[in-house]
Structure 1
Amino acid sequence: MQKQKYNLFKEVFDTYKEYDGTIVADHIQKLRELDEFLPPMQSFFIVTNTSKQIYEFVSKNFEHTLGLSVEKMTTEGIKYWFSHFDPESLPVFLSMLEDLMNFTMTKVEKKDRHKLSYTWNIRVKNSKDEYVNIVEHQTPIYFDGEGKPIIGITHCSLIDEKNKRPIIASIKILNDKNEYETLFYKNYSQLLLSAAVTSREQDIIRLISLNNSSKEIAAKLSISIHTVHTHRKNILNKLNLKTSSELVTYFLNNQLY
C-alpha cells in the first residue's frame, strides 16, 4: 500500500514538475504523514480547474479505484463527475463549497491563501452502481486576480465504509512550523459533539491521533506543554472519552485529518 501511494504522489510531480519543492509539496507531504496512520484506502489525484469546469489531470488510479472513465473526466469535466454524486447530498455539497470560498475570500489574507488545505467528503456512485464514501483534500495552486482559488490539486481517498456519512468540511493552514492549524470546521449533516470542540482542540486531537507527544504538539503549534495538557483534559471531558484509542476513533469518525 505504501509503495502504491508513493508512486501515486510521484505521478503528480512527474506531470507538474514546477510544484516539486514548493509549498504544494509541503501539503502533499502532510498527506504522506497521514498514510502511516489512517486505515488502508484507495486513492487518486485530480487537478480541478473551476473557471473552465474541467479536470486538467486525473491519475491512472482513478479507474482502478472507482471503475469510472478517466477520458470522460478530462473531456466532459465536472458535469461527468457530479453526475455520480449522491443526488440528495449534492445541494449540500454545493452549499458547502460556497461557504468555503466565502470564508477564504473574507477571512484569509490573500498572501496566505496558498497555505490553505480544504477537506470535505461526498458519496459517489462507482461503476458497480454502488455508493462509496470519498474524502478529498484540496490544495489551491492557482488564483485569479482577486485571490480566489481556481485551480487545485485534489487527493481523493475511498473510505472502506458503505454507510452514509455526514458531510464535513474544514479549512486548515500551514503555520511557520509546517503544521496544520484549523481555521474552519463544519458538519453539514447533523449536530455532533464536534460542534463543541474548538479549532485548536481539533488540531490537538489530530496530532494526538497521529501519535505526537505533548512536547511535539507544543512545538508544532507554538504553545506550551502546560497548554497542551489542559487541552487534552478539556477534550476528554467534553467528548466523554477516557482513552487515546477512543480519541483516535473520534478523530476518524469526525474527519479531523
Structure 2
Amino acid sequence: MKRRIVDSYSDIFATFKEFKGETLEKHVEKLRQLDQLIPHSATFFCVTNTSDQSFEYVSKNFEPAIRLDIDDMVENGMKFWWSRMHQEEMNTWLQSLKDLMDFTMENIALEDRRRMTYTWNYRVKDGNETFKNIIQHTTPMFFDDQGKPIIGLAHYSVLEAHETLPIQATAKILNANDEYETLFYQMYGGQKLLVQDITHRERDVLRLLSFGNSNEEIADKLNISSHTVKTHRKNVMTKTDCKNTTQLVAMCIRQGII
C-alpha cells in the first residue's frame, strides 16, 4: 500500500525540479517568527514540498492538535503523515488530488495560479489512535518550470470524527475584490449530501454568509447584484429544505461545504 501511495503521489506531482535554497529558507524563517505569536488551537500549518515529499516547516500547534511527535513529521515527511491516514480513503484521496492538479494545469492560466487555493479532507489517526477529520487548505507558494505548484502553505483544521465526511475537493481563485470564488468542486463517494447540488456561485454566497456578511456586502465582493444574492440564498434554502439561515450555515459547516 505504502509503495503504491508514494508512486501515485509522485505521478500526480511529478516535476524535474527539486525546490530548495535560500529563497525558501527566507519564507520559512518568516513563518517561524509568525508561529511564535499564534495561540494554541486545534489547527496547525505546514510548508509542503511535493518535489521531495517533505515538510519544510511544521508549526507548533501540530503536537497539541493531533498528539503526534513533531520530530516524526519533520524528519519522515509526508510518508509519516500518510501512514496515519485511513487506509480505505487512500485511493479516493489520491483521485481528488489528481483531479485538482489536472483541473489547474488544463484550465488555469499560468499567471492566475498564484491566486489559487485548494481544499480537501480525509481522516488521520491521532496519537491516541483515534481517527480525526482533517480539513486541509493549501495555497501554492512556488512553481516549477512547467507552472506546476510544488511548494505550498497548508493549513490543517482538526475536527472530531463524530461522523465520516465524504472526501470533497475544491479549487478557488482570489478575485479582484480579494474574495475567493469557487472554480471546481467535486464530492467523492456514494453518500448523498443535502448540499450536493449547490452551484459554485451559491457555495461562494454561503461561505460569505457564514462570515456574517450582508447581502449588499456579498454582492460587492462577488461583483453581482444584491437581488442576485437574495435569489441564490432562496434557491439554496429550497434545495436543502432549511428553515432559516442559522440552520443552513450549520448544515454546510457540518458537511464541509464552507
What TM-score do you get using the length of structure 2 for normalisation? 0.83
Corresponding position of 2:30: 17
Give how far 1:209 is off.
Answer: 1.5
Asked if residue 96 in structure 1 is aligned to residue 96 in structure 2, the reply is yes
Matched ranges for 1:44-55 at <5 A: 44-55=44-55
Corresponding position of 2:122: 122
The C-alpha deviation readout for 1:2-33, integer Å capped at 9, x for no partner, is: xxxxxxxxxxx984439x9xxxx9xxxxxx9x
Corresponding position of 1:222: 223
Rounded Cα–Cα distance in structure 1 between residues aligned with 2:41 and 2:239: 30
Matched ranges for 1:181-220 at <5 A: 181-189=181-189, 190-220=191-221
Structure 1, unaligned runs of 5 or more: 1-12, 26-31, 33-39
1:70 is aligned with what amino acid?
A: I
Rounded Cα–Cα distance in structure 2 between residues aligned with 1:256 and 1:165: 10
Give how far 1:83 is off.
Answer: 0.1
Rounded Cα–Cα distance in structure 1 between residues aligned with 2:140 and 2:41: 23
2:203 is aligned with what amino acid?
A: Q
Rounded Cα–Cα distance in structure 2 between residues aligned with 1:79 and 1:68: 14
Rounded Cα–Cα distance in structure 2 between residues aligned with 1:135 and 1:231: 26
Corresponding position of 2:174: 174
Q: Contact 1:41–1:159 at 8 Å: present in 2 too?
A: no
Identical residues among aligned pairs (%): 44
Matched ranges for 1:38-117 at <5 A: 42-117=42-117
Q: Contact 1:58–1:70 at 8 Å: present in 2 too?
A: yes
Q: What secondary structure does 1:196 align onto?
A: coil
The C-alpha deviation readout for 1:81-126, integer Å capped at 9, x for no partner, is: 1000000011111111101100110111111111111111110001
The higher radius of gyration belongs to: 2
Q: Contact 2:131–2:161 at 8 Å: present in 1 too?
A: no
- Figure out how many residues of one structure are paired with residues of the other and give that number: 228
Structure 2, unaligned runs of 5 or more: 1-25
Matched ranges for 1:238-257 at <5 A: 238-257=239-258
